[in-house]
Homo-oligomer: A and B are copies of this chain.
């Protein structure tokens, strides 16, 4: 019988993960012998772990040994403890100097669009934003009319004219967090480097006023930004005609954009996970984390989000924070979410369930790490509010809900110009203007939904190393950033997935 498969998630780990059931006495990598039968998904010590020493998985502390644990021993509830770890944020205690390329290493590049503000785009769209649901249909009609006219055939450097409609923009307060979030989101899209230009369409009497947006962000109308108000234009037909005219006026300017070689440090990678399964934390998420570490060493940016899904692992992020200041922002977010959930009559609870424990997840840290693992291991350089412009390089955090389209909308508004989305159950997500790359956590899903999945991370269970998979992801990110279409782009996704966070009451 072949040796049972095991998985080492990170070079710094002192545990292996059993992919198959490991029988007592089985030979394991590193000359270790299984001290007893260990169920699949569970942990086996790969080195001596003295009592009180950290148990490391994903390169991060998930617990402490409750007794001396010998190599080959099963590591689970019976022999670990969390001590005061959960109450100790140990701010910045594991921060590292800025990660950089090794001497002699060639900087990675991609072919991108350099924009006037210095940022780099990976796509060259014209966007049609709507201030409110009441102008959504006109936004759609303008895009449809432009497409129907066939005129885009004469402007081959433009990736498309895309409407971004949504359900909000009125029936809300004219000040406060709800309004501010929508303003940041709209401005984040309006100024996104993947747009050559945007047209914003409003109704006129909505709460979310275009003139207020322009004033707040110092926007002047010109080549990059135009707006239309339906009530001022004389209704639907005239607004559509005006909109089409304005788009036509943008085409020459937008088509003049050319791809040029740009350093990978200009990439801003949004990290997403939806429809996760038992493999997410073993394959796709740590492999994406390895790619993130590579991108960060190149000077690029990676954005972890989805606060309800990292709940319980905040202590890991505070330790990895660059400073106490940065770490405190994570703690503040967690506190905010606790109150938000309570106000909504629910609670945040990420504790491992009995089913989780039977599957091998010992602590809340370990469970949340399944999600955090896609953020790699580098130092946390900044913490951002939903849809806030990301202005730091390296690994950063943006507060968002866990709900995929809402989370990704915030990250794209923050400037993400490429997105990696891990899924175990099989998400059908796609995004514009930012290309989304979908990573299957298991081979079965990859085969079942091959039209939707870009990368199979299931082969990690068959012996492909996390490091190797990370390189494949990183390479795909560079290719997609350079113009290769992702699966969801080939399918045509992205008109429905703009969903700004509605944080408050709809009135």
Contact = CB atoms under 8 A, between A and B. Distances in A.
Copies of this chain, how many?
A: 2
B170 A133 contact: no
The winner among A204, A499, A502, A507 for most chain B CB atoms within 10 A is A507
Interface in A19-49: none
A53 interface: no
Interface stretch (A187-195, A211-219, A396-404, A475-483): A396-404
Contacts of A50: none
A231 B231 CA distance: 43
A481 to B, nearest CB: 23
Contact of A504 (B236, B345, B430, B448): B345
Contacts of A230: 426, 428
A136 interface: yes
Contact of A170 (B239, B403, B495): B403
A107 interface: no
A177 B306 CA distance: 23
A428 B166 contact: no
B504 A428 contact: no
A341 B505 contact: yes
Contacts of A340: 505
A427 interface: yes
Contact of A401 (B140, B238, B275, B507): B507
A245 interface: no
Interface stretch (A56-64, A97-105, A362-370, A449-457): A449-457
Contacts of A492: 137, 141
B506 A426 contact: no
A333 B287 CA distance: 52
Given A235-B452, A343-B343, A402-B507, A428 B137 contact: yes
A428 B506 contact: no
A305 to B, nearest CB: 12
Contacts of A346: 173, 176, 505, 507
A504 to B, nearest CB: 5
A502 B499 contact: no
A388 to B, nearest CB: 17
A449 B499 contact: no
B496 A136 contact: yes
Contacts of A458: none
Given A235-B451, A404-B170, A503 B505 contact: yes
Contacts of A234: 448-449
A205 interface: yes
Interface string A132-175: 01111110110000000000000000000000011100111100
Contacts of A404: 133-134, 170-171
A420 interface: no
A177 to B, nearest CB: 8
Interface of A: 133-138, 140-141, 165-167, 170-173, 176, 203-205, 230-231, 234-239, 274-275, 308, 340-341, 343-346, 401-406, 425-430, 448-453, 491-497, 499, 501-507
5 contacts: A133-B499, A134-B404, A137-B497, A205-B425, A502-B502
- 6 closest A-B pairs by CB: A171-B403, A235-B449, A344-B505, A136-B496, A205-B425, A167-B499
Given A403-B506, A502-B502, 8 more contacts: A134-B429, A137-B428, A137-B430, A205-B426, A235-B453, A346-B505, A346-B507, A401-B506
